[in-house]
Amino acid sequence: MSKELQVIGRKDRVDLPAFDLFDIEAKVDTGAFTSALHCAQVKVITEGRHQKICFHILDAHRPDVEAREFKTRFFVRKKIKNSFGQSEMRYVIKTKIVLFGRTIRAEFSLADRTEMRYPVLLGRKLLNRKFIVDVARFDLSYQQKKDTFHN
Topology annotation, domain 6-150? Cathepsin D, subunit A; domain 1 (2.40.70)
In this prediction, residue 1 carries a pLDDT of 42
Give the model confidence (pLDDT) of 30-74 as tens digits: 999 999 999 989 999 998 899 999 999 866 555 666 778 899 988
How is the chain split into domains, by residue range?
6-150
The angle formed by the CA atoms of residues 91, 20 and 94, to the nearest 5 degrees, is: 30
Alpha carbon distance 82, 111 (integer Å) = 9
Q: What single-letter DSSP state applies at residue 125? A: H
- Listed residue (91, 92, 72) closest to 18, CA to CA: 72
| Mean per-residue pLDDT of the chain | 90
Q: What average pLDDT does this structure show over 6-31?
A: 94
Cβ neighbours of residue 140 closer than 8 Å, sequence gap 6 or more: 7, 8, 9, 12, 100
pTM: 0.89
Of 71-75, 85-89, 96-100, highest mean pLDDT: 96-100
φ, ψ at 124 (rounded to 5°):
-60, -35
Alpha carbon distance 43, 31 (integer Å) = 27
Q: What average pLDDT does this structure show over 76-81?
A: 92
